[in-house]
Amino acid sequence: MTQVVIATKNKGKAKDFEALFGPLGYEVVTMFDVAPDMEIEETGITFEENAVLKAEALANALGTIVIADDSGLAVDALNGEPGVYSARYAGDHDDEANMVKLLANLQGVEDGKRTARFCCCIAIAGPNFETTTVFGTCEGEIAQEKRGTNGFGYDPIFFVPSLKRMMAELTAEEKGAISHRGNAIRKLKETLPNLIK
Ligand SMILES: O=P(O)(O)OP(=O)(O)OP(=O)(O)OC[C@H]1O[C@@H](n2cnc3c(O)ncnc32)[C@H](O)[C@@H]1O
Ligand SMILES: [Mg+2]
């Protein structure tokens, strides 16, 4: 089995990647396995900048090919917020507090006007290799309240109209089939067919 190294310290994100890469025959390795003490500051102002920054930092440290994902939720009624700052929306990286803040900021916004999308930029970097980025999105609506216990982050308040279920009510495999992360990985396979098989 070949390993794929992901520059992440988010266990939920790592699970998403396991569901996507497992069927392709890859074992997912994260920073918890290869660089637990390394902190990468996300100083970029776009998903792409941060994805590149994370992939290149870990690739340089390890001397191997590394994938990173910078992602977030863009809510139309909030002019695209929380966007790149999704992880830190309520201050600390606290999924629960982030959802509470988002629901509060959307109070009074009626159904039909609560459209949003998850965005994901994946960067792949490594020695003797030009850093490459791909994007994926997933359209949905912010529900009035939380439902479901799967996934991570904003999944319990993200309604997927095509499946009539919350993202947090999907298995990791079901989520991967429609998610921003899954769509980005499918683009990555198309873009670099010799690297990701
Ligand atoms: O940087 P790493 O270590 O990978 O982990 P992170 O959680 O900080 O990841 P990001 O910087 O990319 O921030 C993404 C945030 O956007 C949200 N998010 C991204 N993808 C999501 C998904 O599939 N489901 C729910 N929320 C998601 C969630 O709040 C994440 O913390
Ligand atoms: Mg982060």
Cβ burial, residue 112 (10 Å; 0-12/13-18/19+):
exposed
Say whether 130 sits in a helix, a strand or coil. Answer: strand
Average pLDDT along the chain: 96
Domain CATH number, residue 154: 3.90.950.10
DSSP strand pairing (26-29 vs 165-166): unpaired
Q: Is 54 helix (H, G, I), strand (E, B) or coil?
A: helix
Task: Report the length, in residues, of the chain.
Answer: 197
Does residue 197 fall inside a structural domain?
no
Residues 141, 115: contact at Cβ < 8 Å? yes
Domain count for the chain: 1
pLDDT in tens, 161-191: 999 999 999 999 999 999 999 999 999 999 9
Ligand 1 binding pocket includes 183 (Cβ within 6 Å): no
Quote the pTM value: 0.97
The CA distance from 129 to 60, in Å, is 12
pLDDT at position 78? 98
Q: What is the pLDDT of residues 92-147, one digit of tens each?
A: 899 999 999 999 999 999 999 999 999 999 999 999 889 999 999 999 999 999 99
**Ligand 1 closest atom vs CA 7:** 4
Pocket test for ligand 1, best of 45, 89, 154 (most atoms within 8 A of CB): 154
- Domain hosting residue 41, numbered range: 2-191
Question: How far is the C-alpha of 87 from the C-alpha of 153, rounded, in Å?
Answer: 8
**Res. 1 pLDDT band, cuts 50 70 90:** low
What distance in angstroms lies between residue 2's CA and the mean position of ligand 2's atoms?
A: 25
With a 6 A CB cut-off, is 87 part of the ligand 1 pocket?
yes
**What is the 3-state composition of the chain as percent helix, strand, coil, each rounded to the nearest 5?**
40, 25, 35
Q: CA 11 to CA 96: how far, in whole Å?
A: 15
Residue whose CA lies nearest to ligand 1 atom number 10: 70
Q: How far is the CA of 46 from the centre of ligand 1 (A)?
A: 14
Structural domain includes residue 157: yes
Residue 58: inside a domain: yes
What is the mean predicted confidence (pLDDT) over 26-53? 97
Q: Is 70 a catalytic residue?
A: yes
Q: How many angstroms does the Cα of residue 13 sit away from the middle of ligand 2?
A: 10
